[in-house]
Amino acid sequence: MHPHLLVKVLPAMEPETSMTFSEFQSVTEIFSGSVARGVINFLEANGIGSFSKNTIKFSGTDRIFAALAALQMSCEIEQISKYLSWKDFEKLASEVLRSFGYRTRTNVRLSNPRIEIDVVGTSADGFTLAVDCKHWKRSNLSSISNFSQKQAVRSERLLKHDMTLSGVVPIVLTLHAESVSFVGKVPIVPIHKFRSFIMDVKSFLHDIYLATPTDS
């Protein structure tokens, strides 16, 4: 499977929209029937999309998972990012957090001062991840540092607002990054590493910023 074929499929992945095989070819501009069927077989094998004899259907998270597959096949980031919205990042973050048993909330707003956190995931023991979804292509260290500092402040505000939380870790989730990095002890996490990060987050809490009630 060539990654550019996956990029051609991204515009077709409108949530809850059904299409025929010929409509799929038209939208993706993959006019070779055998190539289009090869793409569909690849998507189906990777759990992306729903396919019946006459109908092709995509869910709200299929586009982001297809984009991740293209990224892992070394597709250029600029080719992919124009088809993804910040809503796609929110959906992915929520989906991953829920798969690990976190209760999730999106677009959490607090006042005095007014702040908003894209995704908040809370485990049964009150451990919380505050996720800022950044739809940037590339960014310099200065702007990344600024975003990470702001997310740390948002995490502190969330903890003061909700006394049931035992601790809050600020996270910046991004498309453009090869691996997890830390700026001011705030994790900058590429979306293709988010699942593994969630699995391991509690094992390296001593290396990352954690807002706790004792800090208040």
pLDDT digits (tens, 9 = 90+) for 90-118: 887 888 899 899 999 999 999 888 899 99
Q: Which domain holds residue 23?
A: 3-81
- pLDDT surpasses 80 at 179: no
Per the structure, the count of domains in the chain is: 2
Average pLDDT over residues 175-190: 82
* CATH number of 74's domain: 1.10.10.10
Q: Do 210 and 161 sit in the same domain of this protein?
A: yes
Q: Do 131 and 46 sit in the same domain of this protein?
A: no
Q: Do 102 and 192 sit in the same domain of this protein?
A: yes
Among residues 103, 119, 113, 111, which one has the least CA distance to residue 191?
A: 119
Q: Do 119 and 44 sit in the same domain of this protein?
A: no
What are the backbone angles phi and psi of residue 147, rounded to the nearest 5°? -65, -40
Asked which of 30-34, 183-187, 190-194 is least confident by mean pLDDT, the reply is 190-194
**Which tens digits make up the pLDDT trace of 202-212?**
888 888 999 99
pLDDT at 145: 83
Q: Do 119 and 20 sit in the same domain of this protein?
A: no
Among residues 110, 116, 119, 57, which one has the least CA distance to residue 88?
A: 119
